[in-house]
Amino acid sequence: MLEEAGEVLENMLKASCLPLGFIVFLPAVLLLVAPPLPAADAAHEFTVYRMQQYDLQGQPYVLLRTATANGFQMVTSGVQSKAVSDWLIASVEGRLTGLGGEDLPTIVIVAHYDAFGVAPWLSLGADSNGSGVSVLLELARLFSRLYTYKRTHAAYNLLFFASGGGKFNYQGTKRWLEDNLDHTDSSLLQDNVAFVLCLDTVGRGSSLHLHVSKPPREGTLQHAFLRELETVAAHQFPEVRFSMVHKRINLAEDVLAWEHERFAIRRLPAFTLSHLESHRDGQRSSIMDVRSRVDSKTLTRNTRIIAEALTRVIYNLTEKGTPPDMPV
């Protein structure tokens, strides 16, 4: 077949008086000046049924449409996919009960554990949000040891929550709030919540940002925690840049910016701690977010900053005269 095509081309060149360059470049010029075929027309021109009638290696019709059209179809022989209508979201909750009466204030520490990217099955989410879950588990371990002994058993309830569905508008957190606030009579969330600390993407960078929907008022435990974070970062880790980022909740958006907004909507004082300054940062949904991208030293440092600040708030160490540069 190739030999016959070669003979036809040779005869055309001998019979034609046109230069060879003109014959070569004329099709290219025609392709450039030809009006593009709309995507819908291209799809109708080459339907699935007609695709079976053409040989992609031998029919010039297909090659021409491939070069000039801007619409394409993907054909598969598998069964048609169906949307998952009911998906189980698993979340894990743990608590440490404070020493004292029944009306003790509660501090809630939250981190979602899901990952997402352009190829969800390739997403590992090492920093977003494996790092947040890592800090949550370490805080639970540290304070569980402190709450074991009566001398270090603080008068605060600690509630730890690892939420599912974080990359899907924090659906696990939404369901958890509904179960605890709307469908039960006794819950730590219904009593005296001091504040909710959400951890999101804390395994890299040289900065930490406390994202808030409403700046905490002076005299509240929220403001005390903010002040302790600033103090610990400035005196014990001067290489860390700490700041507060204020962003109002935009209910018109399809997806909330940060997890603390789920709590703020239910009128619970909450904020999110992250090394990212903006919720639109692409690192939060990238398949490149692998384990090697997380700096273990940075993660350890950020865990210490959070643990130091929480300890100073829970045990009121600053008011008792503990120097700001002394690790606790």
Mean pLDDT, residues 11-16: 57
Confidence of residue 277 (pLDDT cuts 50, 70, 90): very high
Q: What is the pLDDT of residue 188?
A: 82
Mean pLDDT, residues 290-304: 96
d(CA 171, CA 164): 7
Q: Is the pLDDT of residue 103 over 60?
A: yes
The number of angstroms, rounded, from the C-alpha of 127 to the middle of its chain's C-alpha atoms is: 9
Q: Which two tokens stand for residue 260?
A: 């603390």
- For 162, the enclosing helix (H) or strand (E) is strand 157-163
Q: What is the pLDDT of residue 131?
A: 97
User: What pTM, to 2 d.p., does this model score?
Assistant: 0.75
Query: What does pLDDT average to over the chain?
Result: 83
Q: Is the pLDDT of residue 58 over 80?
A: no
> Which residues pair with residue 208 across a beta bridge?
242
| Ordered structural domains, the chain, with CATH | 2-68 (no CATH), 92-314 (3.40.630.10)
What distance, in Å, lies between the first and last C-alpha atoms of the chain?
A: 84
Mean pLDDT, residues 93-107: 91
Asked if 305 contacts 237 with a C-beta cutoff of 8 angstroms, the reply is yes
Least confident of 87-91, 129-133, 191-195, 305-309: 87-91
Q: What is the pLDDT of residue 106?
A: 96
Q: What is the pLDDT of residue 54?
A: 44
Q: Is the pLDDT of residue 64 over 90?
A: no
- For 207, the enclosing helix (H) or strand (E) is strand 207-212
Amino acid found at 212: V
Q: What is the pLDDT of residue 291?
A: 92
The number of angstroms, rounded, from the C-alpha of 77 to the middle of its chain's C-alpha atoms is: 34
Confidence of residue 87 (pLDDT cuts 50, 70, 90): confident
